[in-house]
A = this chain, B = another copy of it.
Amino acid sequence: MKSIESVLAFIVEIEKLKAVQRKTRPVGLQRYENSAEHSWHVCLSALMLKDYADQPVDIDRVIRMLLIHDLGEIDAGDTIIYASETPELKEEEETGLKRLLAILPGDTDHYLALWREFELGESADAKFAKAIDRVPPLLHNLHGDGHSWRDHQVPKEKVFDLNSRIGDGSQALWAVLKKQLDGAVEDGLLK
């Protein structure tokens, strides 16, 4: 009973992810996206794109990774990926994740390990999860007049360079998105 109460406390605490504002707006909405709805979006996106992973992936592990991948932002906040992922920021996120996991009963080290695996981005599951994590922000910009690229003055070279990591998880997916980005350059959305 006591342990269920701890899980319920965790469930209330992680609700704060719904207040973490990201840097892009969902297609068709005027407000910015939050990290909780983004987490749902990438989980379902991963499920629907699983057959295009270059290496065999355990999609259920990928989904678990994506369910927890942004929890560290509750304490650390969301940072635009083009502002570079510093070791300091990652450490802050890890500390935040540990604080949350400490609310749960029992051993939660496997969740910390899963988060670190995602961050490291070396396993097949992590490469695919990280590739999927990049997809919605690109779609938001592609279908939203490049608003985030423009707001943060991100040059096209940086957009292509950073998102080419999608190809580490799925070359086919990156090929399609690269073509769409080429179109955005042609249309003047991305400069």
Contact = CB atoms under 8 A, between A and B. Distances in A.
Given A26-B15, A27-B15, A8 B40 contact: no
Contacts of A124: none
In the complex, which of the residues A64, A143, A177 has the most CB atoms of chain B within 10 Å of its own CB atom? A64
Given A5-B176, A36-B37, A18 B29 contact: yes
Report the interface size class on chain A: 35 or more
Looking at chain A's contact residues, the main secondary structure is: helix
A160 interface: no
A102 interface: no
A18 B44 contact: no
A104 interface: yes
Interface in A1-17: 1, 4-5, 7-8, 10-12, 14-17
